[in-house]
Amino acid sequence: MSTNILKTDENLHRCTRSGSLSARGPIEATGKDYQWLIWGLGRCDGTVRIMNGHQKSSPRVGHGYDLHRLEPVSPVGVGRPMVLAGCRIDHDRGPVSHSDGDAVLHAVTDAILGALGQPDIGELFPNNDPKFESMSSDVFLTKAVDLMRKNGFEIGNVDITVICQRPKISKYKPAMMRQITTLLGCDGGQVNLKGKTHEEVDAVGEGRAIEVHAVILLLPQES
Ligand SMILES: [Zn+2]
């Protein structure tokens, strides 16, 4: 496959914005151009690789964080049924959110986007856009994984910490880790998830919120 080196210039920006960019084979972009190329990727049939010197061949670390307020589940309150890592969690409170409020998938999505230097989940999927209302969050993570591959990276490992006072998530852990493994397209040994309480202090400790941290390592794909 031939490689197209596209340089930073306003013309390229205009091309990608107007949708007139087309290219065959991998595209290698310099500087910030890869972001524009990704936005225009739907009109290209090649892959985009980051060309910022060391970024191309070095591992990338990303951190994702999410918090959702928990309210009694509808119709008692305004909370949605609780879903974590795509698994339905039996609890009388659930997240207040525009999408399904899956804090685990939101944190992992943001960790990948952060490692890639991409806009975060709130910028890519605005919470005032009607098309994302009640959206299953696996859509967001799938998009981030797609961007990761198009940028030439694969999962090294991900470590996730879920912090909530109630419910206990231990019995859901195997199913949650299986689901994350499937969505990331990696092996089970690359995914870790642990639960913690908040020692009954602050909003999380009082059961009024849930927090998730995710740290991810992305490795350059072997060519
Ligand atoms: Zn969220």
Residue whose pair of structure tokens reads 């596209």 in the numeric block:
6
Topology at the third CATH level for domain 60-220: 60s Ribosomal Protein L30; Chain: A; (3.30.1330)
Q: What's the pLDDT score for residue 3? A: 40
The C-alpha angle with vertex 35 and arms to 31 and 37, in degrees rounded to 5, equals 100
pLDDT value of residue 87: 97
Secondary structure (3-state) at 68: strand
Which residues, including other chains, have CB under 8 Å from residue 23's CB and lie 6 or more apart?
Answer: 4, 6, 44, 45, 46
Q: What is the pTM of this model?
A: 0.77
C-alpha to C-alpha distance for 216 and 62, rounded to whole angstroms: 5
Closest-CA residue to 172 (of 193, 191, 186): 193
Cβ–Cβ under 8 Å, residues 67 and 162: no
Distance 100 CA to ligand 1 centre (A): 8
Strand runs labelled E in 73-152: 83-84, 87-88, 93-95
Query: Which residue reads 């039996």 in tokens?
Result: 90
In the chain, where does the domain assigned CATH 3.30.1330.50 lie? 60-220
Q: How far is the CA of 121 from the centre of ligand 1 (A)?
A: 9
Q: Per residue of the chain (223 residues), what is the pLDDT tens digit?
A: 334 444 444 444 444 444 444 444 445 554 455 555 555 544 444 444 444 444 557 999 999 999 999 999 999 999 999 999 999 999 999 999 999 999 999 999 999 999 999 999 999 998 899 989 999 999 999 999 999 999 999 999 999 999 999 999 999 999 999 999 999 999 999 999 999 999 999 999 999 999 999 999 999 998 6
* 211 CA from centroid of ligand 1 (Å): 9
Please give all residues whose CB falls under 5 A of ion ligand 1, grouped by chain where several chains appear. Answer: 66, 106
